[in-house]
Amino acid sequence: MYKSNIKIISAAFALSLCTFSISATATATATATAIAAKNTATLIGFAQLDVETYAEGPQSGTAVKGAYGIAAPFKAQPVQGFSSAFKNADGTYMVLADNGFGRQDNSADFLLRIYQLKVDFKTPKQQQAKVDVQGFIALKDPHKRIPFKIIHENTPERLLTGADFDPESMQRTADGHYWIGEEFGPYILHFDANGVLLDAPFALIDPENKAQELRSPQNQFNQQQINYFPPRVQQSGGFEGMALSPDQRYLYPILEKPLQGEANRRLLISQFDLQRKAYTGKYYYFQLDDQASNIGEFQLYNDREGLMIERDASQNTLNAYKKIIAVRLNEPGQLLTRETWVDLMHIANPDLLYGTARSHDIGTTELFAFPFETIESVIIEDPNILTIFNDNNFPGSAGRNVNQADNNEIIQIRLDRPLNLK
């Protein structure tokens, strides 16, 4: 009887091992197949800035609720919500914080800034990652260029807040000036190297009817019933991306979402002349994929070709649409040619650079994913390497972990085919 039990248990154990072996083999095969798929980039660097990173400044978040164990109000100014970025000659990154807490009516105590970050990535050769906040440029309007009231209207510096503007895209020209695309107007904003606003905000002109402005529901002139235009830009649908031509002559701001009444789900791209400080009247369209809800970024890498981040509105799911699309400008008035270049939900991670995963973390194994709702910054390091930042919507996004507020993650990927930068 005893021996018979041993045989039965041994047989069951052998069957269990066989089942486990088949399951493990199937999983490994599925992962290998997914990694080998077309448009699979490879993770070569990973870093993250802790969600509760604060910079000097007054208390903030008095009009918001905390989330995921982070209580509001916040002790200072959160370093969060990176909506655009570029690289300095010294290897550091300049990152643009968005309007703060997601809405015009809850971000009056969030100060608009451009932060400088030093990023040491975890790589196959360097096992420790570190992100240092080295300083910031405060955006301000001491010369009173803004033609409507702002939160700090009667102060000397007139520091700008997330109730005044929602900055989402950024370029810097050779003179050190910053050009920022925002969503409330939507406007293009022109700052000097110290963050001082140099011109009145440039409103978006309707390229098909130059007597009209294209405005959002948050537009301050409309709210004050001054020279009213019906809002055709969707809420949170302004200048999410804004490319700069390599000769630094033109900006190409793109709306995040289709205009109201745009049945074909096209996104308007306008051409803005930096010498004339005016729209040229030339425009283009980007056709959204059926699975996408909006774009997060637009960068040109030669005269006519660039990259777009296209995404859906999901988070914390591996069944998401988050892609980098290679695009080409055709003739004005036409659609951009588009081709998927990277699937951000399917990135090979042979060196397991994310490190030790927390309970409920997703997308951190040999098949790495970037499962965030808002992915808004891509930097073209060279023909083969991109750096990508998420926007963590402090403290309300939980894309990596359903129980944890997102950190600011920064990844470097090697492309499976190079870009033509010439």
* Mean local confidence (pLDDT), 288-302: 98
Q: Which among 160, 171, 197, 183 has a CA at the least distance from the CA of 85?
A: 171
Within-domain flag for 106: yes
Within-domain flag for 23: no
- What's the domain range around 87? 40-414
- C-alpha–C-alpha distance, residues 333 and 280, integer Å: 13
Residue 168 confidence class, pLDDT cut points 50, 70, 90 = very high
- C-alpha–C-alpha distance, residues 292 and 257, integer Å: 10
Per DSSP, the three-state class of 87 is strand
Q: What pLDDT is recorded for position 27?
A: 54
385 beta partners: 382, 414
Residue 208 confidence class, pLDDT cut points 50, 70, 90 = confident
81 beta partners: none
Within-domain flag for 26: no
Q: What pLDDT is recorded for position 17?
A: 42
* Mean local confidence (pLDDT), 126-149: 96
Residue 293 confidence class, pLDDT cut points 50, 70, 90 = very high
Domain containing residue 44: CATH number: 2.120.10
Q: What pLDDT is recorded for position 6?
A: 31
135 beta partners: 116
pLDDT in tens, 53-95: 999 999 999 999 999 999 999 999 999 889 999 999 999 999 9
pTM (2 d.p.): 0.92
Q: What pLDDT is recorded for position 97?
A: 95
Residue 402 confidence class, pLDDT cut points 50, 70, 90 = very high
Within-domain flag for 2: no
Within-domain flag for 157: yes
Q: What pLDDT is recorded for position 31?
A: 66
Q: What pLDDT is recorded for position 9?
A: 34
Q: Other C-beta atoms within 10 Å of 245: how many? A: 18
pLDDT in tens, 5-35: 333 333 343 444 444 444 544 555 556 666 7
Is residue 1 pLDDT above 50, yes or no?
no
Within-domain flag for 188: yes
How remote is the C-alpha of 401 from its chain's centroid?
A: 18
Contact 386, 380 (CB under 8 A): yes
Residue 226 confidence class, pLDDT cut points 50, 70, 90 = confident
- C-alpha–C-alpha distance, residues 405 and 399, integer Å: 8
Sheet strands (E) in 214-259? 239-244, 250-255
Q: What pLDDT is recorded for position 15?
A: 41
Within-domain flag for 31: no
- C-alpha–C-alpha distance, residues 74 and 405, integer Å: 15
Q: pLDDT averaged over the chain?
A: 92
Within-domain flag for 70: yes
Contact 249, 275 (CB under 8 A): yes
Percent of the chain with pLDDT over 70: 91
Residue with tokens 């870093």: 47
Count of the separate structural domains present in the chain: 1
Q: What pLDDT is recorded for position 8?
A: 32
